[in-house]
Each structure stands twice: as structure tokens, then as C-alpha cells.
């Protein structure tokens, strides 16, 4: 009975912390302050996928012997399935392909539930058929897993990524354990299903320790950031746009379907081979994609100009335009010191409030100070497109700054607060040790300016505003 009570209590604690954080990530949940920029892996969310995919080409072109060896093992494994099918063991090969077609533990893709659907037997059969249909594959196999995209309908970046992760799951387990050990992320003993045994050439279950989702109990595998792209270097869309002889396939190229292209490719492998060769020659341009990319300086300046032209208030949707522009500008200005969590709408006494939420990475001394003094694991930027802040605005943000989320908040508004509002914010610090500062149009202009010159960090403007606020406090 006591064990059940303890388990229920721990689950309740996990669920409470999970719901208090906005879009919780593995590191934030366990109190590990790590910016995505500084991590060797894509930091996973608990309740949704990361919108990136493993691109096996990045292993092939890597200077690391480990990565190239892993790519070789991946292709050996996959090509062996083709040989099994050619040698009368087609059903066995199909079973392996179906199992390998999903790897939920890595949480890559676009699913909102961190779960996907495996391919069926017919689709697995279509994949194996290319080893019979194309002589080069029958004799030598594929050079790149991504080549499947050019011959089999329904096989694209997500499925390529899952195949790679499934067949390399043993490495991903070791990589995950190593990263968790370095960072102090807790692991639990679990049975990991469907781990590929390269010697036995079959999937097996392995008992080991891995991090888990504290709510659902799902296993989590970390994936090297250096392997990830939004679109594979070798991709169908790139091939179709730049290399596919569309006029040769159809007299009405604008109506050309993917199925027609795939059928053509099966009978004209040389076209695909020349495309693959061209992509291999340009391998130096193939780089991993970051989870977040800052907007260019020109775009930042354009967003600032757009904001400054907006009227305060809600006329002609000015408030929504203000929020949208801020949602693009601030994450870029503050990256990589603050990782963007999400834009969030909340309601206080019937008033809709728009926030931008950031993970506090504690990457800079100021951020470590904010965490130590105010317990801010995440930082809220409340957007107010108003001519002047009012006491009700301050009180709304005050109610939101609870101990669990941190007691430091930032107003993003058009003009400096009046003396009475400043006094109210100082009183909150004196009575409750909550700090609220403001960023105005003039502050944003300064942030964009230092973003442009790269001589200072835009975060320094916030540091300056906080120092000014503290000087007014008793």
C-alpha cells in the first residue's frame, strides 16, 4: 500500500511540474540548464515531436570515422534485406522492414503525440521490389537510403529517418546514456523493444537504463544534432525541380504526378544515378539544420520598422500585427541565450493576454542571476500594444509570476511607463520580491542595432534595463 501511495505521489509531483512549464523539454524538467545551441543533441519535448529528421547523408559525408562506419552498417543492413527477398526469404525481409519503419523513441517529425504508424506489408514489398526491378541494386545494393524516395510512393524524409534510427538504435542507446551521464539526467531501467542486432541480423529486446517521459512513461532516445535536417540533402523535391527530365516524361509537365516520375525512374535509373553523383560532389554544402534559425539583419530591421509604424491599441488589428511581429523579432534577437518556447495566450479577468515564453538557459551571468534571485526557469515577455501601461496590466502580470514559474517578467510595450506605474513595480519588488521591467520601441531599436553590428549582445539591453530598475528599488 505504501509503495502504491509513493508511486501516486511521485506521479502527481511530475504532473504538477509538467503542467507548470510551457512546452517542457527533457533538460528543463530535470533542472538541467542547457541551451539548444550548446547541446550535442536535439533536446526532446515530452508531448510532441521535434520537426527535424535524421539525414543519413550527413553520416556519409562526415569526417568522423564513427559516423561513416554507422552509415556503412546502415546500408549493409538494408541491402541485406534486398538480398533476402531475392533469395526466397521475402516474408522475413518484409517483417523486418515493417518493424523498422517507426522509431517513436526519438520523437522526430511532426506528430503531436510522439507516435507514428508503421508501413504495411504491401509497401514493404514495394521497397524490396526495387532490388529485383533495378539491376544495379540487385548486384550492388543502394549507396544511400534516401534513394528509396525516387522509386517508392509514400517513402519520404520521415520514413527514411525512422529506418535509420531503427537500425542504429543500439548506437542511439549508448549515445543517450553518455549524454545523460554527462548532464546528470536521471534514467530508469526499462526494456527497449526492437533493437537491431547487427551480428544476428534481427531485432531483439534490450534491458538498459534510459530517460523517460514522466507522464506517459515513454522511453526517450537522444539523437546527435549533427545528423538532423529539415529536408534530406538527397530529396525528391530537389530532384524533381532541378534534375528530373519533366518534358521527357510528360508533354504537360505542370500536370506531372509523382507516380509518373517514380515509374519513369524505375526504367531510367541513370537519371537518378546522375543526380546522386551531383549531390555527392557537392557534399561540402550539406550541413545539419539548427532547430531555430535567426532572421537576417535586414528582416529584423524590417520588423522593427513595421512595429514603429503601428498605432497603439486595436485599431485595424494593430494589436495582432504587433504580437505577430514581436513573435518573429524577439526570438531571433535573444537567441541563443534564450531558447524560444512558444507564444501563449492566457486570460485574466476576461482580458486576453499574449505572452512570449522563453526557456532560461542560464547561458549568461544575468540569466543565472535571474534564476537564482527569482526562480525563473522560464521567462515571460508580456506584449502590450498600448499607449501607456496601466496598473491593471501590472497586476495581471503580477498574478502570473508565481514561485513555480519564477518572479521575473518583462513588459514589451510602446512607451516608457509613467512614474506611478514605475512606483507600482518597485512596490512589488519591495513587498514580494518580484521584478518587472519594460522594453519600449526605443529599447527594441537598440537591440536591433546591436544585433546588426554584432559588437554587443541584444540581451545586454535587457541587462541594462534591469540594472536601471534595481537602482530605483530600496
429-445 pLDDT, tens per residue?
A: 999 999 999 999 999 99
Q: What is the CA radius of gyration of the chain?
A: 26
421: left (phi over 0), alpha (psi -120 to 50) or beta: alpha
C-alpha cell at 290: 539548427
Alpha-carbon distance of 165 to 173, in angstroms, equals: 10
Residues 6+ apart with CB under 8 A from 414: 312, 384, 385, 386, 387, 440, 441
Indicate the pLDDT class of residue 134, thresholds 50, 70 and 90.
very high
Q: Is 309 helix (H, G, I), strand (E, B) or coil?
A: helix
How many C-beta neighbours within 10 Å does residue 112 have? 8
The share of the chain scoring above pLDDT 90, in percent, equals 82
Quick one: DSSP state of residue 366?
H
Alpha-carbon distance of 30 to 213, in angstroms, equals: 11
Indicate the pLDDT class of residue 346, thresholds 50, 70 and 90.
confident
Residue given cell 509531483 in the structure block:
13
- pLDDT reported for residue 239: 95
Which of 40-49, 107-116, 365-374 has maximum average pLDDT?
A: 365-374
Alpha-carbon distance of 416 to 441, in angstroms, equals: 9
- pLDDT reported for residue 8: 38
Task: Give the tens place of pLDDT for each residue, 416-432.
Answer: 999 999 999 999 999 99
Alpha-carbon distance of 415 to 306, in angstroms, equals: 16
Tell whether the torsion through CA atoms of 268, 269, 275 and 281 is positive or negative.
negative
* pTM attached to this predicted model: 0.89
Query: 16 pLDDT exceeds 70?
Result: no
Alpha-carbon distance of 32 to 28, in angstroms, equals: 6
C-alpha cell at 416: 516608457
The share of the chain scoring above pLDDT 70, in percent, equals 95
> What CATH number should be reported for the domain whose range is 297-472?
3.40.91.30
Residues 6+ apart with CB under 8 A from 267: none
Query: 166 pLDDT exceeds 50?
Result: yes
Residues 6+ apart with CB under 8 A from 271: 243, 244, 245, 264, 265
Maximum distance among all alpha carbons in the chain?
84
How far the first Cα of the chain sits from its last, in Å, is 53
Q: For the residues of 164-211, what is the DSSP string, one character each?
A: HHHHTHHHHHHHHHHHHHHHT---EEEEEEEEEETTTTEEEEEEEEE-
Tell me how far the alpha carbon of residue 39 is from its chain's centroid: 12
Indicate the pLDDT class of residue 233, thresholds 50, 70 and 90.
very high
C-alpha cell at 139: 548486384
Considering only residues 351 and 249, tell me which one the structure prediction assigns the higher pLDDT: 249
Alpha-carbon distance of 114 to 102, in angstroms, equals: 11
Task: Give the tens place of pLDDT for each residue, 306-340.
Answer: 999 999 999 999 999 999 999 999 999 999 999 99
Indicate the pLDDT class of residue 143, thresholds 50, 70 and 90.
very high
Indicate the pLDDT class of residue 7, thresholds 50, 70 and 90.
very low
Decide: 388 and 415 in contact? Cβ < 8 Å: yes
- pLDDT reported for residue 110: 82
Decide: 256 and 246 in contact? Cβ < 8 Å: yes
Tell whether the torsion through CA atoms of 357, 360, 366 and 370 is positive or negative.
positive
Decide: 165 and 103 in contact? Cβ < 8 Å: yes
The full set of domain ranges for the chain reads 19-285, 297-472
- Output the average pLDDT for the chain: 92
Of 342, 336, 372, 362, the C-alpha closest to 354 is 342
- Beta strand pairing status for 408-413 and 435-439? parallel
23: left (phi over 0), alpha (psi -120 to 50) or beta: left
C-alpha cell at 409: 517578467
- pLDDT reported for residue 405: 77
Alpha helices, DSSP H only, in 335-472? 365-374, 391-400, 419-432, 441-453, 459-472
- pLDDT reported for residue 354: 83
Give the lowest-confidence range in 24-28, 174-178, 234-238: 24-28
C-alpha cell at 147: 534513394
Residue given cell 533469395 in the structure block:
87
Decide: 210 and 190 in contact? Cβ < 8 Å: yes
- pLDDT reported for residue 74: 98
C-alpha cell at 292: 531555430
Alpha-carbon distance of 402 to 425, in angstroms, equals: 15
Query: 113 pLDDT exceeds 80?
Result: no
Decide: 209 and 189 in contact? Cβ < 8 Å: yes
How many C-beta neighbours within 10 Å does residue 455 have? 7
Give the lowest-confidence range in 67-76, 78-87, 260-269, 352-361: 352-361
Decide: 405 and 377 in contact? Cβ < 8 Å: yes
| Residue 410 CA: distances (Å) to CA of 227, 319, 339, 382, 398 | 36, 17, 16, 6, 11
Give the lowest-confidence range in 251-255, 279-283, 307-311: 251-255
- pLDDT reported for residue 11: 39
Amino acid at each position: 500500500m505504501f509503495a502504491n501511495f509513493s508511486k501516486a505521489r511521485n506521479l502527481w509531483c511530475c504532473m504538477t511540474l509538467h503542467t507548470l512549464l510551457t512546452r517542457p523539454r527533457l533538460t528543463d524538467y530535470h533542472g538541467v540548464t542547457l541551451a539548444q545551441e550548446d547541446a550535442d543533441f536535439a533536446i526532446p519535448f515530452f508531448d510532441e515531436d521535434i520537426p527535424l529528421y535524421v539525414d543519413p547523408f550527413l553520416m556519409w559525408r562526415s569526417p568522423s570515422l564513427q559516423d561513416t562506419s554507422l552509415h556503412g552498417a546502415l546500408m549493409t543492413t538494408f541491402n541485406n534485406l534486398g538480398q533476402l527477398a531475392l533469395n526466397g526469404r521475402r516474408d522475413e525481409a518484409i517483417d523486418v522492414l515493417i518493424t523498422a519503419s517507426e522509431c517513436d523513441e526519438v520523437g522526430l517529425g511532426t506528430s503531436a503525440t510522439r507516435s507514428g504508424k508503421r508501413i504495411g506489408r504491401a509497401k514493404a514489398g514495394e521497397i524490396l521490389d526495387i532490388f529485383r526491378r533495378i539491376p544495379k541494386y540487385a548486384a550492388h545494393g543502394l549507396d544511400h537510403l534516401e534513394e528509396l524516395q525516387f522509386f517508392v510512393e509514400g517513402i519520404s524524409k520521415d520514413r527514411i529517418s525512422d529506418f535509420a534510427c531503427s537500425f542504429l538504435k543500439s548506437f542511439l542507446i549508448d549515445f543517450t546514456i553518455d549524454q545523460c551521464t554527462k548532464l546528470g539526467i536521471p534514467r530508469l531501467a526499462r526494456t527497449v523493444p526492437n533493437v537491431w542486432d547487427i551480428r544476428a541480423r534481427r531485432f531483439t529486446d534490450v534491458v538498459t537504463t534510459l530517460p523517460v517521459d514522466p507522464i506517459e512513461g515513454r522511453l526517450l532516445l537522444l539523437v546527435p544534432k549533427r545528423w538532423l535536417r529539415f529536408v534530406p540533402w538527397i530529396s525528391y523535391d530537389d530532384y524533381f525541380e532541378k534534375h528530373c527530365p519533366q518534358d521527357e516524361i510528360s508533354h504537360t509537365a505542370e500536370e506531372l504526378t509523382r507516380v509518373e516520375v517514380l515509374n519513369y525512374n524505375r526504367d531510367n535509373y541513370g537519371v537518378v544515378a546522375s543526380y546522386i553523383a551531383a549531390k555527392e560532389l557537392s557534399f561540402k554544402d550539406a550541413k545539419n539544420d539548427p532547430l531555430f534559425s535567426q532572421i537576417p539583419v535586414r528582416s529584423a530591421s524590417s520588423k522593427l520598422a513595421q512595429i514603429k509604424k503601428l498605432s497603439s491599441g486595436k485599431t485595424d488589428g494593430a494589436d495582432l500585427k504587433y504580437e505577430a511581429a514581436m513573435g518573429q523579432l524577439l526570438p531571433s534577437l535573444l537567441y541563443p541565450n534564450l531558447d524560444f518556447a512558444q507564444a501563449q495566450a492566457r486570460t485574466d479577468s476576461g482580458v486576453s493576454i499574449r505572452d512570449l515564453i522563453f526557456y532560461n538557459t542560464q547561458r549568461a551571468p544575468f540569466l543565472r542571476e535571474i534564476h537564482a534571485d527569482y526562480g525563473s526557469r522560464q521567462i515571460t515577455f508580456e506584449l502590450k500594444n498600448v499607449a501607456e501601461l496601466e496598473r491593471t496590466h501590472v497586476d495581471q502580470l503580477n498574478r502570473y509570476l508565481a514561485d513555480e514559474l519564477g518572479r521575473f517578467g518583462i513588459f514589451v510595450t510602446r512607451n516608457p511607463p509613467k512614474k506611478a506605474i514605475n512606483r507600482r513595480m518597485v512596490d512589488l519588488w519591495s513587498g514580494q520580491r518580484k521584478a518587472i521591467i519594460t522594453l519600449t520601441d526605443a529599447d527594441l531599436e537598440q537591440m536591433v542595432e546591436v544585433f546588426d553590428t554584432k559588437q554587443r549582445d541584444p540581451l545586454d539591453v535587457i541587462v541594462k534595463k534591469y540594472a536601471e530598475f534595481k537602482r530605483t528599488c530600496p
